[in-house]
Copies of this chain bind each other. A is one copy, B any other.
Amino acid sequence: MEKILLGHGSGGRLMHQLIREFFVPEFDLKELNDSAVINFSDSPIQQFINSPIRLAFTTDAYVVSPIFFPGGNIGELAVNGTVNDLSMVGAMPLYLSVGFILEEGFPMDNLKVILSSMAEAAKRADVKIVAGDTKVVDKGKGDGIFINTSGIGIIPDGIELGAKNIKAGDRVIVSGLIGNHGIAVLSERNGLSFEPPVKSDTAPLNGLVQLMFDVVSKSASMNPHSAIKMMRDPTRGGVATTLKEMAGDSGLCITIYENLLPISSGVRGACELLGMDPLYVANEGILIAIADPDLADLLVQKMRSHPLGKDAAIIGEVAGSEPRTNGTVLLKTSIGGTRIIDMLAGEQLPRIC
């Protein structure tokens, strides 16, 4: 009998397969985005409203182990992650719910610390936690604490992000240093310490996204909201898996350049030591945006003025349509080679978020 494997939770190919084969046929998951976009004018409640309001709705379970790691904890992660999923569809995150599954014997003091950092993270992201639920499972049937956060936000008029907007020539922007979250969790889990220490990048991206839309809407050169084509936060499965999704969804080829990838020396060293590829390591505070070539440089320049965007960089571009390479991601290596980048196949690092 087929069984669930750790890899089914990895964000990579196994998980995509599970979603496609099991979930999509049963549920109303239109696009395999982290947030659903709800257009109220298509819904039974259109009678109650008289404007074309669009809601974003998302959910995420957090099972990261260990629950405290350099740069954050599971509570902060659960708030930021859901804020980011909403932000990636262009929504203003507004309200969060939180569901706890606690294991009998979990220390109250830890719960207190986690709740405080959730409250602080919500404040920082300017969202409200308005609904909650708590369940307790017997000792040995859980792992301390699991947290599920769901979130709702409003998508302002005119913003419609999606793979269908992507065109040949578009630039690939990454907003910050890659690989920090995964390496931070891994080092805590295995008692490793690196010099300089690697900290999780967990952070709410809605402020940075707001800045990006402001830049675009102030530019007279084009339709205010057509310069940013699509955004994703490269969490489980890392930058590689996210780019592969973007290439697959758009049916185009994405080329990135190894020497343009913003990677700290700490992450680089840790990855070399551990035999890991930073492109597949999880991030919790950066985004990848596909942007119009005419505005990409300005966008990156302005992003660098934001604390969460100071290492923003253009790391590649969307190539013209060629049947042989459609849907693929190519990495031009620093020694001049070309590597095909695929999704994470199994599980590089379980329970990373």
Contact surface of A with B, Cβ cutoff 8 Å: 1-10, 15, 18-19, 22-23, 26-30, 34-36, 38, 43-45, 48-51, 53, 55, 57-63, 65, 92, 94-95, 97-109, 111-112, 115-116, 118-119, 122, 128-138, 140-143, 146, 148, 150, 152, 154, 156-157, 350-351, 353
Contact = CB atoms under 8 A, between A and B. Distances in A.
Contacts of A44: 92, 94
Contact of A50 (B45, B50, B100): B50
Contact of A28 (B7, B104, B130, B143): B130
Given A35-B131, A58-B97, 6 more contacts: A4-B106, A22-B112, A23-B132, A36-B130, A48-B157, A141-B142
26 contacts: A1-B107, A2-B109, A3-B108, A4-B102, A4-B105, A7-B136, A9-B102, A9-B137, A10-B136, A22-B112, A23-B132, A27-B98, A27-B130, A29-B130, A36-B95, A38-B130, A48-B53, A50-B51, A53-B53, A59-B148, A61-B99, A61-B100, A62-B135, A63-B135, A99-B150, A148-B150
A59 B95 CA distance: 12
Contacts of A152: 55, 57, 152
Contacts of A27: 98, 115, 118-119, 122, 128-130, 132
A137 to B, nearest CB: 5
Nearest to A33: B131
A108 to B, nearest CB: 4
Contact of A116 (B8, B26, B116, B133): B26
Given A4-B104, A50-B51, A143 B132 contact: no
B105 A3 contact: yes
A155 to B, nearest CB: 9
Interface residues of A, dominant DSSP = mixed
A30 B143 contact: no
Given A19-B134, A29-B131, A119-B27, A101 B63 contact: yes
Contacts of A136: 4-10, 350
How many copies of the polypeptide does the oligomer hold? Answer: 2
Contacts of A3: 104-108
Nearest to A45: B154
A351 B142 CA distance: 12
Nearest 7 CB-CB pairings of A with B:
A9-B136, A150-B150, A59-B97, A148-B148, A36-B130, A26-B119, A2-B108
A165 B57 CA distance: 32
A104 B143 CA distance: 13
Contacts of A1: 107-109
Contact of A2 (B48, B107, B350): B107
Of residues A19, A23, A115, A150, which shows the largest number of chain B Cβ atoms within 10 Å of its Cβ?
A: A150
A3 B150 CA distance: 26
Nearest to A120: B26
Contacts of A101: 61, 63, 101, 146, 148
A62 B146 CA distance: 12
B60 A99 contact: yes
